[in-house]
Structure 1
Amino acid sequence: MAPSDERLVHETVQGNLQAFEELVHRYQRQVFTIAYRMTNQREEAEDIAQEVFITVYQKLYQFDTSRRFAPWIQRITVNTCITRLRKKKKVVLVNFEDNISNRADPFLNIDYNDPAVVYDREELKLDLKEALLQLPESYRAMLILRYQLDMSNQEIADALGITRENVEVKMHRARKSLRKVLLERRDERRQRDELSASR
């Protein structure tokens, strides 16, 4: 039977580097996935993953082995991503079309051969990506964890070190903020179209 994560943490703190290598092996894909979804840049995600495991190794002695290891490393990963995002103002985030295509498609009965339909859908994807860039990093992270990584509110709460109720409140605010930005962008586009038509 494979040792638990918490057992591996204990052994690593005792000086067993093979135990730490096993932890890295277990979590490297998840850490990289979170970093990549947050940044949409492979090299940046690889750098973040490396930084996360260095931080984890340095702080393992602080980990409470009576708790689960997964939320702890997820929290370090998210915090590392947010710190990077705040340092780098020009960041291109992952589009939500991956999420749209992976879920039940609300446009199933629409003719995708119609150029107008394709154009409208591409506009929506662009609006979502650019609207996300205008949100505070904490809201951005919340929406990506929920809709890109399919994490439940409880999993997000565990990963961020906050209560599930707090997640629900922040998720509501994040969605509201995203909707507001999207509506503003739509209004701006409509005004531009009306100006163009009147010329």
Structure 2
Amino acid sequence: MSDIDLIERVLAGNDHAFRLLVEKYRNDVFRTIFAILRDSKEAEDASQEVFMKLYNSLSQYENQGFKTWMTRIAVNHAIDVKRKQERRREDVVGALEQQELGTPRDSVEKEVIAFDQRRLVQKKLNEVPENYREVIYGFYIEEKSYQQMAEEQNVQVKTIETKLYRARNWMKRNWKEDDFS
């Protein structure tokens, strides 16, 4: 059965036809989203959200290549999810900075130095390759356990240990202590 036939049936109220579309394209949608998010749990959630968007906007589809249309929706949604993740990380860092600034200090000079150091650490963290940045951020900033990070990333604990080991080696090779003073 062609995509157009299935779409017409969905628009006529046949939910089974939509299930057939989902089954036909779920791997394509997942791979597209995973390529952007690099997290299988997040990609699964985003895939479900994409199919809900597809279902709700099928009436707007204009028979111009269903797979292309669907992929465009998936890519845009994955980019939105990634932006939200980045904003959450920035919010966490901002909240930590706010906590630090809110505590009593001996002098304004110490506050300025502490703020500059946090900003420098954040800048340096952005230099770390993306696949290492996530484990460094999770372990050192968010203080998550290996187990928590493994569950979130849907990988083995050993994978997290290896990533963290490689991330530390990367930092040793690429950073000097003078970079932080």
Task: Provide the TM-score with structure 1 as the length reference.
Answer: 0.45
Larger proportion of helix? 2
